[in-house]
Structure formats: C-alpha cells, structure tokens
Structure 1
Amino acid sequence: MTTVQARSSEPRVDQRRWLALGVCLTAGFMTLLDTSIVNVALPSMERGVGASQADLSWVASGYALTYGLMLVPAGRLGDLRGRRETFLIGVALFTLASAACGLASAAGWLVVFRLLQGMAGGMIAPQSSGLIQQMFQGAERARAFAMFGSVVAVSTAVGPLAGGLLIQASGGDDGWRWVFYVNLPIGVAVFAAALRLLPRTPPREGPQEGFDLPGVLLLGSGALALMLPLVQEQQWPGRRKWALVPVAVVLLVAFWTWERRQGRLGRAPLVDLRLFTRRSFTLGALVSLLYFAGFTSVFFVYTLFLQNSLGYSALAAGVAATPFAAGSAAAALAGGRLVVRYGRKLVVYGLCGVALGLLGAVMAVQLAPGRGVAWAAALPLLVAGVGSGLTVSPNTTLTLGRVPVRRAGAAGGVLQTGQRVGSAAGIAAVGAVYFAQLAGHGHVAAALQLGLATALLFVLLALALALADLRERSARG
C-alpha cells in the first residue's frame, strides 16, 4: 500500500471506530434504561395482567438481579471468545426477551421473560467497556468513556420520563407493553449495525485459556445470596432473610481463595485478582459502588413520593427527574475532556456537586412540601446532575484506563457488578428509611427528606474515599 493510500484509509478507520462506539452506546442506553423505565409502568401491569405485589417486585428488581449476576462471566466470555460475538448474542436475546415480555399473557410469564431480559442485558454491558478499551487509546479513550458514562447516568435518570411518555401515549391497561416493545426496533437496528461496524477481538498468542466454571458458580451463588435480601427487602418481611448475608460472605471468600489458587497454578481465573493491586481500579470500584448506592436510590423514593403521595401522573413524575438527566448529560461530555487534566480531583468536584444538590433537594422539600416540590427541587437536582456527570464518566475512565485490554471485559464486569450491588443496597437502605418513617409517623415530606438524607450519606462516603486518595497522593508527591 502506498503512503497516499494509507493516509486516505485513516479517516475511514477513525470514522468506523466512532460509529462502532455509537452502536455500543445505543445498546448500553437500551439495557440501562430498562432498569428504571418500568417503575412508572407497574400500576399498568397490575391492572393489565393482575400482577401481585410480589410479581411487580420481581419485574422491577429481578432484572437488576440477573443483569448483575451475568456481568463478570459475560465479560470474561467476551475476553476469551470474542466481544463482538458475545455482544451480538446478547443483543439478539435482549430483543427477543423484550418482545416476549410485551406479549406475556400472565404475570408469571412476564417475570420469567423479565429475568431473561436482565441476563441478556448483563451480557451486553461488559462488551461495551471492553470494546472501548480495544478501540481507543489515551485522550480518545477518555472521551469515549465520557460518552459511555453519560449514557450510564442519563439512561437511569431519564427512565421514568420515557416510561411516562409511552404510557401516556398508549394508555389503557396494556400501556405497559410498549415499555418493552420500544426495544424491538432499537434492538434490530443495533444488531444490524454491530454486524457491520464492531471489530473482532484480536487473536490470542500462545495457548488458549479455559473458562473458569467453578469460579462462575462460586461468584454467581455468592452474589445471588448477597443481592436477594437487598432487592427483596420490602417483600420478605422479618429478619431471617439477612441470614443469607453470612452465606454470601462464605461463598465470596471461597471464590477469592479459588481464584488465588487458579493464579498460583498458572490457570486462567474468572477474575484476575491482580486487578485489585492496581490502586486506581480498587479505589474507583469502591467509589462507584458507594456512589451508585446514593444516586440511583434518589429516583426510587422521589418518584414514589410524587406519584403515591402527591398524585403526580407517571409523565409528570418523569418530567420532574429531567433536570438531573439534563445536567448529567452535559457535564459528562465535558468531564471526558477535563479528566485528563484534573484526574481524581474532578471526581471530588463532581461528588461535592452531587452532595450540594441533594442537600438543596432536602431543603426544597422543607420549603415547599406540597405539589410545588418538583419546581422547588428542579435547580438542586440540576446541580446534582452536573455533579453526577463529573463523577460517573471520569471515575470510569480512571478505574479502567490502566487495565490491560485482554482483561478489559472482566474488569468492566467487576466494576458494573459493584454498581448493581450498590444500587440494590442503596434502594434497600433508602427505601427502608422512607417506608419506616411513613409507617411510624405518616408524614410524607419528612419521609422523603430522610430518604434523600440517607442517599446523601452514601455520596459523602464516596467523597471521603476520593478525598483520602487525594491526600495520600499529595503526601507521596
């Protein structure tokens, strides 16, 4: 190939990479949107298929459960067998499961198909972060992760609005079905584009690594035992459910021991424990876990308060969450450019913004406890959204930036598993505080304030970790 030919091909290669990133981001938006879009559709499901409270709980939380359980093994599968191929299988299964959810004639079938949909979503997510690692380097990788972080933040926040719009447009007892049908054209388009644009995983040199099935079983059962009492906190009364937590600890310790043994014997582990010797990865994963415990639980109690206590429609409750989504989207794109210059300081600034915004929301509820609370809380939520945009994508960039590409899928799976566990734990804790205040005193505004204050506590814990890291770096430097 001549020099002129090589130069003329470079723009096409560059454009193809960014188009491939668009495919990954669209798939990520679709799967993450489904974690929150169903919340406003639950009353319609209850009327449409006679779903019980237990059924509705599994529709809402079962998706997050199976999604989280699939992340690490799916990430490792993509590292070994090809991220493009695993991505395509995940998109196909997600689209089919979405169609099955929309066609479900009984609540039991809806729950089954919803669990399958979560598994498919968990297959897609780590491939996206792995493909970003594979396709981009340096400042371009930071920019790509900024866009990925924007999708993570915005998809969660905009879910109630999207669900409200779909139900408002379709109406009736079957309005909830369109929450799932909307995935069909998106899924088909993503699959077709992925076939053309996504790169294949480069072939490995040397002997082929095997798949660590005992590691999958130990990690999966440990994560299941840990997450079940969290996602079912409101539906399983009594304290016996918490007996699963020590079981989870035993299983996860066994998983850690097994993985160390795999490493000593020179075999391929499910999770390379050397990842946790990287300070940037360990710190970033902990910050992400604590932050997601705070930020996702905000919308859980806020939309409940607006709909159940103030009589807001599904659409109005979704609109009330829009300032956070808008601020997050705008700031996440800027964060991708700024993280190269400021590093961990930018995450600290972002967490300070989220904390300030949540504190402002608590004060807004005090000043305007009636139906005007959404207007009073709009500016604080916008500030919190800007802070979120400066937290999620820069933290993702810093956490995964130094991970070897051959471990990128598994590392992304570990990071996102922490996010799912954090979300479940946060919703359980914030929900318990909110419902306990309602049951004990019946004061709905005070219940929301306490719920938001609990979410703020998680954000402050993440901020304390980030600040401690900054102080140690300053002492060393």
Structure 2
Amino acid sequence: MSEGRSSTPVQDTGYDGRRRWRALSVGLIAAFMTLLDVSIVNVAVPSIDRALQATPSDLQWVLSGYALTFGLVLVPAGRFGDARGRRTAFVVGVGLFTLTSALAGLARSPEWLVVARLVQGAAAGVVNPQVSGMIQELFRGADRGRAFGLLGATIGISTAVGPLLGGLLIQLGGAEHGWRWVFFVNIPVGIVAMLLGWRLMPTRPTNPAGRGRLDPLGVLLLGAGVTVILLPLVQREQWRGPGKWLLIPAGLLLLAGFALWEHRYARRAQPLFDLRLFTVRSYTLGALIGLIYFAGFTAIFFIFTLYLQMGLGYSALVAGLAITPFALGSALASALGGRVVTRYGRPLVAIGLLAVVAGLVATDLVLAGGPHENVPLRTALPLLVAGLGSGLVIAPNQTLTLSEVPVPMAGSGAGMLQTGQRIGSAAGIAAVGALFFSTLAADRGDWSTAFRHSLLLAAGIVVLALGAAVADIALGHRRSAGRS
C-alpha cells in the first residue's frame, strides 16, 4: 500500500511523513559524501604525486584501497544495523569518515595517506547500508520508489560529479595544496550529518533476533573472499605476470565456503547474510545487473579523465566539466525513474541500459578519425544521452532489487548489493583500463584510439547487463503466463 507525504506513520516506526523524509535527507547527504570520494580523488592524483613524491603503487592504493575496504565491510555493517539499530552504526561511520578525511588532508607522506584512505573506505562501508536499510524500514509503496530514486540519483551524480568538484577545489586551492581540500571539504558536511543523524536516524533494531551473535566466521570468510578477489584487480598495474589472477578463483572458493557456512549457520542462528534472498528472482537478477553495469559505468569516467588530462592536455577542471552532461542527465532521469519504476518495472531498466549503450556508441562515433579539438563539446550530447539512460538504471534497479527483501534483512541485503557493485567497479576498471593502456602502447601513444576501443568495451559490458534485464523480463512474462 502506497503512503503519501502526509503525517501518516509507517507501520509502528513512530516516523510521520515529514520526519522520515528529513531522515532520508541526512542519509543521502552522508551517502553522497562517501560515494563522492570514490571518484573525486582521480583528478587529484598528479598533485598528490608532486606533493608527496608517491610511487605508482602508493597512488594505486590511494585510489583503489578506498574501494577495497569500502566493499569489505558493507555486509557486516548492514547486518549490524539490522541487529543493533541504524543510528549508532550511521553516526559512528560518519564520525570515523570525517576524522579520516581530516587525517588524509593533513598527510605528510604517502604511507600516511594510504592508511587514512583505507580506514576512510571502511567508514564509508559502514554508512551506506544504513541508508538503504532505512529506506526499506521507513518507506512503503510508491514512496519507497521515490526514496530509492533519490538514492540512485545520489549514487549516479556523486560518481559523475566527483571529477568536476575535485578539479574545482584544486583550481581554487592551488596546484600544491588543492588536493588537500578534496578531503577537507568532507569535515563540515560530516559534522552536520553526525548531529542530524543522531537526532533523526531510526534507533530500534529491525531484526532483534540477530542481536546475540554477529557470525564472526561468516564475516571472516566473506571479508577474505572479497579481499582476495579485489586485490589483483586494484593492483593490476603493480603486480606483473599472470600469477596474480590465480587469486580470483581462490577468492571464489572462499566465497563458496562462506555460502556453505551461512547455510549451516542459519539452522541455529541468524546468519550474516540469508542465502534465501538469492531464491528471489528480483534480488538475484537485480544484483547481477548492478554488478555488471557498474563494471562498465564506473570505467567510463576513469578512461575519459585519463584521455582528457594526459592525452589531450586539458586541466582537471575542464576534464570535470566534460563529464557534467552525464551527471545532469543521470540526475534528471533518476528523479523520473524513482517515480515511475513501480508502474513499469524492469522494462524501464532495460530502456535505460539501451540508452547508455546508444550514448557510448555515439560518443565513439563523434571521436572517429581523431584527434579533434573541443572534445568536451563534441561529447556533451552523447554523454547526456548516456547519463539519461544511467538515471533509469541505477535507481530503478535498486528499488526493484530490494523490493521483495524483508525489512529485517534490509541492511545485509543492501550491503551485499553494494558489495557486488564495488567488485564490478574494480573488475571493470581493470579490464577496460588494461585495454586502454595496451592499445596506447601498441599504437605508440594514440590516445584517441585507446579511448575509443576501451569505450566500446565498456559499452559491451553494459550490453551484458541489458541481457540480464531482458532475461528477468522474459522470466516475469513466463511466470505471469503460467498463472493465467
């Protein structure tokens, strides 16, 4: 049953319409801040390199270490919020994120900065599943679609606008110290989010049965599996030779051990992640779509920033501005997608994926025969189309994926969904980045060809996500026909 924006309480949570939207606003601010730090640091790498004399390995860990620890704690943090209440986890996570942002901005050595980024990523992983879980807890029906639409817009915009905001801060702060403001900007936002979060976030656990034990062996197996899979992806440039890829099947074995343990543990207590969620078609295929889409989606900004700054000599600010059409399109379509997803379902996601593919292919076509002048202007329209498509993917897919997840499992379910997205992002950047650099080496520094080839690979990855969406639609039609 849909609920309006009036003061009608949501079941027995004690939250009227106004208070739950205020709580959501605080959660979205914190989510934006943590997700922004996935991409904002990309444009600061040259300044960090000059200021701290960092090695390529140091810089890789500054960028990828954040994503690694982010993905590592999502599911345990979501389970903790389900079992103990979201307010404590949210406030502690935001507080730790704010502190480590200050420490990162004050870094005097590469090692200092890497450690700060690792802890900062873990703090971000604590915060984000509380926001998704809170939406599951406080919103129902069409309002839940709107809330997830806003969260999807936050995810898409924060990823796309990161390079622009980073370039602007570096421009204002100067080449020597501008990179520090990329981290310092989080401090006032984090303090406000902590204070408001303590006042507005839900305090009661949604799964009191899980208070006793938090499944430490499950946490260890899941963490080890995710780490072993992500390590060769985030260290692909530093670890030479094919041996590193053996870690991926080793990680998959650890995750298989995690699944077996969770199945056994569920017989006597509440597991870290209830595997029965994977029997829900909307959750399983939605999580798969998210994993594959983020592999293509995130890689686009990585290679485009390299192409513009290192290949064509544009400033960090101009490189950020070039990505703005995608961000604007994503924002507009996310707001629309969140409102209509309950009406159109997974076909809306398929339309969005098709638009993303069309926009990326069009971007490749306008750069054919390069190099060209005014690349940011040439790519503005096709990137706007891709952004509009992306807005119809992220928010609606998140809504549909979590729509049938029981509220007591909301935090861990959302955490597993985001863990898949983090793994997809790392895998996509590794694959697309490898093609980019190998083409660059083979063609003796032809940046335009390297970008176009890798862009088409990213588009191909999005096509795979489209295939998963079409499969979900077909299975849904088959089930409907069987009932009639």
Structure 1 length-normalised TM: 0.96
Residue type of the alignment partner of 2:194: F
Structure 1 contact 368–376 (Cα < 8 Å) conserved: no
SS at match of 1:176: helix
Deviations 1:361-410 (A, max 9, x none): 11111155323222111100000000000000000000001101110000
Q: Percent identity?
A: 54
Residue of 239, 242, 252 corresponding to 1:239:
242
User: Residues 209 and 401 (structure 1 numbering): CA distance in 2 closer, same or farther, change over 3 Å?
Assistant: farther
Report whether the alignment pairs 1:23 with 2:26. yes
Match of 1:307? Answer: 309
Structure 2 contact 91–194 (Cα < 8 Å) conserved: yes
- Number of equivalences: 471
Deviations 1:66-120 (A, max 9, x none): 0000101111111111111100100000000000001111111110011000000
Structure 2 contact 206–408 (Cα < 8 Å) conserved: no
Alignment of 1:13-412 (within 5 A): 13-202=16-205, 208-263=211-266, 265-366=267-368, 368-412=370-414
Moved more, 166-175 or 34-43: 166-175
Residue type of the alignment partner of 2:464: L
Structure 1 contact 79–410 (Cα < 8 Å) conserved: yes
Match of 1:421? Answer: 423
| Alpha-carbon offset, residue 474 of structure 1 | 2.1
CA distance in 2 between partners of 1:347 and 1:7 (Å) = 32
* Cα RMSD for the two superposed structures: 1.7
Structure 1 contact 310–370 (Cα < 8 Å) conserved: no
User: Residues 7 and 23 (structure 1 numbering): CA distance in 2 closer, same or farther, change over 3 Å?
Assistant: closer
| Alpha-carbon offset, residue 346 of structure 1 | 0.3
Structure 1 contact 149–389 (Cα < 8 Å) conserved: yes
Report whether the alignment pairs 1:462 with 2:465. yes
Deviations 1:412-445 (A, max 9, x none): 0000000000000000000000000001112211
Structure 1 contact 91–190 (Cα < 8 Å) conserved: yes
Residue type of the alignment partner of 2:82: D
SS at match of 1:366: coil
| Alpha-carbon offset, residue 199 of structure 1 | 1.9
Structure 2, unpaired ranges of 5+:
1-5
CA distance in 1 between partners of 2:462 and 2:239 (Å) = 27
Moved more, 182-191 or 360-369: 360-369
Alignment of 1:466-477 (within 5 A): 466-476=469-479, 477=481
CA distance in 2 between partners of 1:409 and 1:7 (Å) = 25
Residue type of the alignment partner of 2:350: V
| Alpha-carbon offset, residue 201 of structure 1 | 2.3
SS at match of 1:67: helix
Match of 2:3? Answer: none
| Alpha-carbon offset, residue 40 of structure 1 | 0.3
CA distance in 1 between partners of 2:397 and 2:313 (Å) = 37
Moved more, 360-369 or 32-41: 360-369
Structure 1, unpaired ranges of 5+:
1-5
| Alpha-carbon offset, residue 13 of structure 1 | 2.2
User: Residues 402 and 39 (structure 1 numbering): CA distance in 2 closer, same or farther, change over 3 Å?
Assistant: same
CA distance in 2 between partners of 1:327 and 1:9 (Å) = 34
Structure 2 contact 207–409 (Cα < 8 Å) conserved: no
User: Residues 7 and 68 (structure 1 numbering): CA distance in 2 closer, same or farther, change over 3 Å?
Assistant: closer
| Alpha-carbon offset, residue 475 of structure 1 | 3.0
Structure 1 contact 364–373 (Cα < 8 Å) conserved: no
CA distance in 2 between partners of 1:68 and 1:321 (Å) = 25
| Alpha-carbon offset, residue 50 of structure 1 | 1.2
Deviations 1:298-326 (A, max 9, x none): 00000100000100000000000000000
Match of 2:450? Answer: 447
User: Residues 81 and 175 (structure 1 numbering): CA distance in 2 closer, same or farther, change over 3 Å?
Assistant: same
CA distance in 2 between partners of 1:66 and 1:206 (Å) = 28
User: Residues 359 and 206 (structure 1 numbering): CA distance in 2 closer, same or farther, change over 3 Å?
Assistant: closer
Structure 1 contact 310–371 (Cα < 8 Å) conserved: no
Residue type of the alignment partner of 1:325: A
CA distance in 1 between partners of 2:412 and 2:8 (Å) = 35
Deviations 1:130-149 (A, max 9, x none): 01111101110010000000
| Alpha-carbon offset, residue 12 of structure 1 | 8.4
CA distance in 2 between partners of 1:199 and 1:261 (Å) = 31
Match of 1:3? Answer: none
